[in-house]
Amino acid sequence: MKTPSARTKSAPSQRGVSKAAPETIYFYRSNEKPYGVFSNLFQRVIVFEGREYATSEHAYQAGKARKEAVREWILSAPTPALVAMAAHGLYTWDITPDWSRTKYERMRKVLRAKFSQHDDLREILLSTGKARLVEAGTVVNAVNLTWGEVKGKGKNMLGVMLMELREELGARSSTKKNAPGSRSRTARTAANGWHKGNGAITA
């Protein structure tokens, strides 16, 4: 798949920036610049609940397994995409009770940790302004229709949570800038350390 660039929207599955109003930014794969950082498979270490995780996908999926042994097995997968696949394949009895209800709040907390702990990622998120953020999948399945959209259909929960977090971080940033003695900082437009990976997120 080609790395996207800013372009006019011609289909819901396109990556990059749409010039249509309201502006929409589509993302999916973690190696897409600059918005691949929105993928949970983007390889950037975060600390969550007192533990260090290789990606936000690791941190999120660590909450799904009911037993510690199963959790460690999931986290031992060699890539974040395989972490997601392993977690997606768990039997019902291996999944934390009420996961279908608690997973959304866990994702919010994981995203907050990711974008709060890394200035460059936070600035990319804030640079999107008021644009609508959409994880644009290509395969119609329950996961893609929950966390993103396929051909314009889906709940796009990851995009919604990123927009909520953007508003929260933006308000916090404004408060700091308006504080006595504060100094403005030039926003950086690119993140360090790009890595290839699949952009799918596992329910």
Instruction: Name the β-bridge partners of 53.
Output: 46
Sequence spans of domains, the chain: 13-42+122-172, 45-117
18 and 26 Cβ atoms separated by less than 8 Å: yes
Least Cα distance to 81 among 55, 45, 47 occurs for 55
Specify the CATH architecture of the domain 45-117. Orthogonal Bundle (1.10)
Instruction: Name the β-bridge partners of 137.
Output: 150
Q: In what order do the strands lie in the sheet with 16-18?
A: 16-18, 24-27, 132-137, 149-150
Q: Quick one: pLDDT band at residue 174, thresholds 50, 70, 90?
A: confident
For residue 74, the one-letter residue type is I
What predicted TM-score, i.e. pTM, was given to this entire model? 0.78
Per-residue model confidence as pLDDT tens digits over 94-125: 999 999 999 999 999 999 999 999 999 999 99
Q: How far apart are CA 27 and CA 64, in angstroms?
A: 25
Per-residue model confidence as pLDDT tens digits over 13-61: 455 655 545 699 999 999 999 999 999 999 999 999 999 999 999 999 9
